[in-house]
Chains A and B, each alone.
Chain A
Amino acid sequence: MFKSLQEARKSIQEKRRELERRVGETSIIVVLLGVGNKGLERRRNLDEKLEEVGILSLVPEDDFAPDVAPSLTEEAILERADVDLIFINVESWGSATEFGQFHDKRDIAPKLRVLTPYKYHPIYGSSTSYLTDLYLTHTVKYGHVYAYDNSSRSAFPTSEKIVITIATRYRRLVALGKI
């Protein structure tokens, strides 16, 4: 019998490692940030697809307790939670402001994967906006700013394809002990 949570946790870790070794895979936690309406629908569809491939995926609007203001949950997630990856699709002034606030925080930046319509990408697009400039700084410092085209009219992948590709490869690398 376990005397404490710590002992129980050790047992959980042993079983987890054993299963991961046996199947050659692990599980990661990702959070999908973005805007409401069409963006929310898209994130929900993506959430389903990630869950199907065994990735623990969270959409704040659906998954987090409504008792807490969303901004407080997000801050906690970004700075103190055991999230592996945070995908952010900056589609509005609201999410742009958020991105501006935390993109350069040392604890947060390494987990961020930024998705932007290709027109606003600092390398592939032609925008000269403040946001594009911020993307350029982030790209230079941390990388991980990805261009997408959900209209499928250009060669750029959809945001869904980017997220699934990055998340599954990240999981694989974690399973191999390379991250």
Chain B
Amino acid sequence: MDAELRKRLKVYRAIDNNHRLNILTTLFDEPDIAFNDLARKTEIERGLLAYHMGVLKDVGLVESEYERRSKKSSKYRLTNEGIEILKEFKLDEISTKKREG
């Protein structure tokens, strides 16, 4: 099976999860959000959030920066692929509705 199909399977597996969908739409609304703020907004406990971010990073939908200088906090944003997958499933429109609502 070609690498592209394998990658697609991994992405679908990754986004077939309510917590991770919630994270993706939150990141669409608030790029470069700090880990602790993301935990608060998504209401996902921090240990579990660390795992879900790991999954999303592993399939290339999310990227992060870790700042050691200030509060040693990670910040997260969607990659271009992450934005594309949101658009494919119209999750960007749900985010927009959430903002407008």
Contact = CB atoms under 8 A, between A and B. Distances in A.
Interface of A: 1-6, 8-9, 11-13, 15-16, 19-20, 23, 25-29, 51, 53-54, 56-58, 60, 63-68, 72-77, 80-83
A12 B10 contact: no
A40 to B, nearest CB: 16
Q: Which of A6, A19, A56 has the largest count of B CB atoms less than 10 A from its CB?
A: A56
Interface string B75-98: 000000000000001110110010
Given A8-B94, A72-B46, A81-B51, A56 B10 contact: yes
Interface residues of B, number: 44
Interface of B: 1, 5-10, 12-18, 21-22, 25, 35-36, 45-55, 57-59, 64, 66, 72-74, 89-91, 93-94, 97
A49 to B, nearest CB: 13
B25 to A, nearest CB: 7
Contacts, number: 128
Nearest to B36: A67
Contacts of A56: 10, 13-14, 55, 58-59
Given A5-B18, A72-B47, A25 B64 contact: no
